[in-house]
Structure 1
Amino acid sequence: MKNIGIYRRVFPLKSEAFIKEQTRNLLRYQPTFITNTLVNEIPFQNISLSQNDFLGIKQSLFLLTRSPQLFQKSSLNKIDLIHAHFGPDGVYAMAVAEQLKIPFLVTFHGYDITISRKALWRKGKFLYYQLIFHEEELKRKAAAFIAVSQFIQGKLLEKKYPEEKVIQHYIGVDTTKFFPGKRAEERYILCVGRHTEKKGIDTLLRAFAQVADKHPDVSLIQVGMGTLTSELHALTKTLGLEDRVRFLGAQSHETVLDLMRGAEIFALASQTAKNGDCEGLPIVINEASACSIPVVSTKHSGIPEAILDGETGFLVSERDHLALAEKLDIILSDPALGEKMGRQGREFVCKKFDLCKQTLKLEAIYDSLAG
């Protein structure tokens, strides 16, 4: 069995449960997480600079210098290959891989290739400066780049990433964990997404306001938080929806699963942000489909690769709250149609996005790089 190093600068984050799920399903590679900051304990071998790091000095130094000398080389010697998640992390993994003289690959998930580099610069984070300064070097030295959707694959090629190194690979969904359950007595639409511009939660709120009176027994439950939280709460009040919308904040993967099984519709109105930020392919959409929940979303980024419009859900144009409201109304008015779409959605996810199948394909990619 070979050893794979999974590099993520800060880990684990609630919004990135898919990384743990993917890692947990590896069969032929022993994973070791390499992190700058370990937020809490994880059920995997790990090497973290944050352990016994007085005042966070080592973590800050690595952020600034990318020096692999800050890690004990002996603890990394057994690793055969490094897999970094997100473009900026790839630049840090590159330094570690060079010291070990092993190959590395990087998965691009969305913002890391869609946001313009000028917009990244204006964010003022040293992490993004490192990507901008070292991106050309990254293109030369990485063994491969994984794109989580065909859309992201196209974006990588637009940015002149080497075509022969770019591999499109979908992150899988555990269809034995995400499966249909009993619908809740309460009727509700579920939305799971961080409070950022690209999630389009403002569009969803305006759409729900259009159908709320027609369906007085239906509520909207939103899971997530972020920089736009106060604005979204204010918009909810302006629309007169305070009693119909419940913001639950960030929740565990298990809580989200329970909410999905009870939902009547899963809705996510993703859109392109002003700085170009786009989704890759929101894994939460596939999780909802795996639970046999019809999805109403947008023709944005990789989402049309996961939703069969008119069969497993509906897709509308970005920022079109009236079209979104129309599709919500169709399903709310015809529960049998929603159930049919949900069944077809699960069949589609089991065929195309099953975690075990996709992880086997990921290990085949590892095999091609690890010699």
Structure 2
Amino acid sequence: MGAMPIWSLRYPDDFSEDCPVELAARTRYLPDRDQLKQMFCSTRAMLGDFPLSVIWQVKRWGEKKGKYRLYEAAWLGRELKEQGITHVHTHFAGIGARTAWWMSKFYGISYSFTGHANDMFCSNDDPLLLQDLVDQSSFVVTVSDFSREWLLIQCPDSSAKIHRIYNGMESRCLPASGAKTLPPKIVSVGRLITKKGFQYLVEACALLRDSGLDFHCEIIGNGPLEDDLRYQIQQLRLDDCVELAGALPWQEVNSRLNASSVFVLPCVSDDGGGMDNLPTVILEAMNAALPVVSTRLAAVPEMVDEGITGFLVDECDASALADAVGHILKMPDCGQAIGRAGKDYAEKKFSVVQTVSSLMSLIKQSL
């Protein structure tokens, strides 16, 4: 099987410098929303370009929510049919999976999808439900045992086609310098939103400071809670030891991981049921041979082997978080040993070669 064609429903606002050039060059894009709307604005506009059965479905759907999924499916399905493509795999139980669902209806193209986290855990008002997407699929992948068990409860009749394949990790980190900064650095990376739990990390830093420990904490990322976190940092008088570094390119993030002593991600579940599942950033930290401190949430315990590759605490518990981080800061040799164990563990359990092979096997079976 040669290189698979890649289609994107959206053209990105900007390309990440971390995106491989070869991957970007292979990616093709659908027409934008305005162009699609023009194509499907009337029966006359559609005649001659799309099968009558597709036109009928589009007209019948009308202005209901999700109409652009039909437009995308009608256009992309026609292109894929012409190329002889019979199966589509998409990531997230969101717009991609819903477009694939309609392509299966319009053109008989089978599909599968990988569900990640809030795309499954959080309900929405789309007419196509998660169960609809699962029922019509050839198979579904979830990225952890936790999310597979969750999905089995939601869709018990589809248990035979729900599989767990971990997100793969490619060992692409720059060589670690081995030189850690002084004072020791605590690092965290993520969007500044509720489910990352950064407010508890800031609170834990206040406890560490009050205990007499010398350290610097760096939170890398941006998001809607930036002002709230800055205010919290100021109120706790942590300006000299806690820094909001903003979003940074991957190579710079990697450099800062390599200069740190411990990685912390105090993730929590939010009021809407949203939560991290298998946070990729923890894999990146393990790949950088950092000990990890996180919470016993969702699939995090599938990544962090308690006491071996890091430490886990209950969510929203700043005191326990401070104790775990403090333990590593006070025993740097122990922290480095835990970090090395984490790197070995991640390379064995989350190898991208292994995960890609598992996914390819399922795709081949569906053809």
Tell me if both proteins adopt one fold, taking TM over 0.5 as the criterion: yes
- Of 313, 317, 320, the residue aligned with 1:316 is 313
Contact 2:193 2:225 survives alignment (8 Å): yes
1:32 Cα deviation from its structure 2 partner: 1.0
Alignment partner of 1:247: what SS? strand
1:109 equivalent in alignment to 2:85: no
Describe the SS at the equivalent of 1:194. Answer: coil
Q: 1:151 — aligned with what?
A: 146
- For residues 240-277 of structure 1, the C-alpha deviation after alignment (integer angstroms, 9 at most, x for no partner) is 11221111222222222222111110000011112211
Q: C-alpha displacement at 1:85, in angstroms?
A: 1.4
Q: Which amino acid aligns with 2:11?
A: T
Corresponding residue of 1:337: 334
Matched, 1:135 2:130: yes
Partner of 2:199: 202
Shift of 1:321: 0.6
Give the letter aligned to residue 196 of structure 2: K
Per the alignment, residue 94 of structure 2 pairs with: 88
Return the alpha-carbon distance in structure 2 between the equivalents of residues 347 and 328 of structure 1.
21
Structure 1 residues 350 and 136: alpha-carbon distance in aligned structure 2, compared to 1, 3 A threshold: closer
Pick one of 174, 182, 187 that aligns with 2:178.
182
Quote the offset at 1:69 in angstroms.
Answer: 2.7
Task: Provide closer, same or farther for how the CA distance between residues 40 and 332 of structure 1 changes in structure 2, counting only shifts above 3 A.
Answer: same
Gaps of 5+ in 2: 16-22, 42-62
**Shift of residue 63 of structure 1?**
5.4
Unaligned runs of 5+ in 1: 2-27, 121-128
2:69 matched to which residue of 1? 66
CA drift at 1:329: 0.6
Distance 1:63 1:251, change over 3 A: farther
Q: Hey, what does 1:10 align to over in structure 2?
A: none
Match of 2:28 among 24, 47, 56: 47
- Contact 1:38/1:50 (8 A) holds in 2: no
1:77 matches 2:86: no
**Deviates most, 216-225 or 261-270:** 216-225
Work out the CA distance in 2 between the residues paired with 1:252 and 1:31. 27
| Residue identity matched to 1:105 | S
Q: Which 10-residue stretch deviates more, 197-206 or 68-77? A: 68-77
- Cα distance in 1 between the residues matched to 2:31 and 2:244: 33
TM-score scaled by structure 1? Answer: 0.82
**SS where residue 30 of structure 1 aligns?**
coil
What one-letter code is carried by the residue in structure 2 that aligns with 1:173? M
Deviation of residue 98 (structure 1)?
Answer: 3.8
Structure 2 CA distance, aligned partners of 1:201 and 1:178? 26
Q: Residues 178 and 91 of structure 1: is their aligned pair in 2 closer, same or farther, counting only changes over 3 Å?
A: farther
Is the contact made by 1:145 and 1:165 (CA closer than 8 Å) also made in structure 2? yes
- Identify the residue that residue 18 of structure 1 maps to in structure 2: none
Quick one: which amino acid aligns to residue 170 of structure 1? Y
**In the TM superposition, what is the alpha-carbon distance from 1:49 to its structure 2 partner?**
2.9
1:72: how far off? 7.7
- Higher mean C-alpha displacement, 178-187 vs 308-317: 178-187
What is the SS of the residue equivalent to 1:37? coil
Q: 2:245 aligns with which of 230, 245, 248?
A: 248
The one-letter code matched in structure 1 to 2:120 is: I
Deviation at 1:134, TM superposition (A): 3.8
1:20-52 deviation line (CA, Å, top 9, x unaligned): xxxxxxxx5424133233334562422323569
Question: In the alignment, does 2:261 pair up with 1:264?
Answer: yes
Aligned residue in 1 for 2:278: 281
Secondary structure (helix, strand or coil) at the match of 2:271 reads: coil
Point out the more displaced range, 59-68 or 229-238.
Answer: 59-68
**How far apart, in 2, do the equivalents of 1:298 and 1:218 lie?**
21
User: In structure 2, how many angstroms separate the alpha carbons of the residues matched to 1:362 and 1:106?
Assistant: 10
Q: State the Cα deviation string for residues 85-142 of structure 1 (Å, max 9, x = none).
A: 1112311222234444222111111112222x2xx3xxxxxxxx32x53434312211
Contact map agreement 2:296 2:314 (CA 8 A) in 1? yes
Name the CA shift for 1:111/1:339 in 2 (closer, same or farther; >3 Å). same
For residues 103 and 202 of structure 1, what CA distance do their matches in structure 2 show? 44
> Which amino acid counterpart does residue 274 of structure 1 have in structure 2?
D
SS at match of 1:270: coil
In 2, the alpha carbon distance for the partners of 1:227 and 1:250 equals 13
Q: Which letter maps to 2:87? A: L
Q: Which has the higher contact order (CA 8 A, sep 6+)?
A: 1
Give the Å deviation of 1:339. Answer: 0.6
Residue 179 of structure 1: CA displacement?
5.7
Moved more, 66-75 or 289-298: 66-75
Q: Could you state the TM-score of these two structures normalised by the residue count of structure 2?
A: 0.82
Percent identity between matched residues is: 26
Aligned residue type for 1:46: T
Q: Which residue of 2 aligns with 1:23?
A: none
Q: Is the 8 A contact 1:103 1:142 kept in 2?
A: yes
